[in-house]
């Protein structure tokens, strides 16, 4: 039973991270294009417009479960008549990358937009670089029956220092997973410090939590970093809130009443209700 609870908590955590990443990409579509496909941005400039496409694939076999894509963004440019459709699949771990599923999505988009250029991208936020296959190839009897290839963007292969000063919300939110000799805490906090000049105050707090989750920070790592540097007050408040929420979740697991939990931790009832159903997106790993 204990193993099943751990597995369930891990699935919930990865699901919430995935949702947070998708929301980040949707909130900043221009930055998304610049981060994932820098060649397109340099060649065609900033897109004139964009739209988010239906992520549900059409079911050709009604007996089977349908597929749902992570995110599709359809861009139009002033310098190019062909429309660019970017299929983005986020993978929190390298081992979870599924190119066969992505190939289903890609074929569906080719059917729906035969005149557009469709580019599949696998965004991997695993902290460790890995050997990730980027293609599916099938041939026999001298014939190639299928060749599908996707662009793999491993954040862990991005150089942390290369994005210093960049006004790109995607890059700054994901800097905790980038390569470099700096500690994960330093990468995360430098990234979110840059975010403060890019996003609204309302979005900042959510991205602060997402950035910490991407960097897989622990309470101890954050506290150790706080001793070495002077963090802004919102960072300290965020850490205290994260600890209080973690305490509230533990009290819930032990059957403590909501009234006692809200009064002792300061966590609001609405947030406690959400915590009762699933692990929060910003839950930190404790060592």
Annotated domain spans of the chain: 1-157, 180-287
Measured in whole angstroms, the distance separating CA 274 from the mean position of its chain's CA atoms is 20
Most confident of the following: 147-156, 219-228, 236-245: 147-156
What is the average per-residue pLDDT within 255-262?
Answer: 77
Tokens of 253: 């697991």
Mean pLDDT of the chain, nearest integer: 81
Query: Is 60 exceeded by the pLDDT of residue 287?
Result: no
pTM exceeds 0.95 for this model: no
Q: Are 142 and 135 in contact (CB under 8 A)?
A: no
Which residues, listed in sequence order, are joined to residue 80 by a DSSP beta bridge?
none
Torsion of CA 268, 270, 272, 276, to 10 degrees: 180
- Phi and psi at 145, nearest 5°, equal -90, -30
Report the percentage of the chain scoring pLDDT > 70.
79
Alpha-carbon span 190 to 173, nearest angstrom = 10
Q: Which residues contact 2 (CB under 8 A, 6 or more apart)?
A: none
Measured in whole angstroms, the distance separating CA 10 from the mean position of its chain's CA atoms is 15
Note the pLDDT of residue 41: 82
What is the average per-residue pLDDT within 169-196?
Answer: 92
Q: How confident is the model at residue 25 (pLDDT cuts 50, 70, 90)?
A: very high
Query: Is 70 exceeded by the pLDDT of residue 13?
Result: no
Q: How far apart are the first and last CA of the chain?
A: 21
Q: Which residue has the higher pLDDT, 16 or 122?
A: 122
Q: Which residue has the higher pLDDT, 204 or 268?
A: 204
Query: Is 50 exceeded by the pLDDT of residue 283?
Result: no
CA distances from 45 to 39, 76, 80, 132, 170 (A): 10, 10, 10, 30, 18
């Amino acid at each position: 039973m204990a193993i099943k609870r751990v597995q369930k908590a891990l699935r919930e955590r990865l699901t919430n991270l995935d949702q947070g990443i998708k929301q980040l990409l949707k909130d900043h579509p221009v930055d998304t294009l610049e981060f994932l496909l820098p060649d397109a941005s340099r060649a065609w400039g900033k897109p004139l417009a964009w739209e988010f496409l239906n992520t549900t694939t059409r079911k050709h076999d009604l007996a089977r479960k349908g597929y749902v894509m992570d995110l599709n963004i359809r861009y139009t440019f002033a310098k190019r008549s062909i429309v660019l459709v970017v299929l983005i699949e986020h993978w929190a771990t390298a081992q979870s990358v599924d190119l066969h599923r992505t190939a289903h999505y890609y074929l569906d988009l080719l059917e729906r937009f035969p005149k557009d250029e469709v580019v599949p991208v696998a965004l991997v936020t695993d902290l460790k670089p890995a050997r990730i296959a980027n293609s599916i190839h099938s041939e026999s009897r001298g014939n190639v029956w299928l060749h599908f290839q996707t662009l793999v963007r491993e954040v862990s292969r991005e150089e942390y220092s290369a994005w210093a000063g960049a006004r790109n919300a995607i890059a700054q939110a994901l800097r905790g997973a980038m390569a470099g000799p700096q500690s994960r805490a330093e990468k995360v906090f430098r990234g979110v410090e840059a975010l403060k000049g890019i996003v609204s105050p309302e979005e900042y707090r959510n991205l602060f939590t997402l950035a910490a989750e991407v960097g897989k920070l622990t309470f101890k790592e954050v506290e150790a970093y706080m001793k070495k540097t002077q963090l802004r007050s919102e960072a300290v408040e965020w850490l205290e809130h994260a600890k209080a929420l973690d305490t509230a979740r533990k009290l819930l697991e032990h059957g403590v009443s909501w009234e006692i939990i809200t009064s002792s931790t300061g966590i609001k009832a609405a947030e406690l209700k959400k915590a009762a159903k699933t692990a929060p997106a910003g839950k930190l790993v404790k060592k």
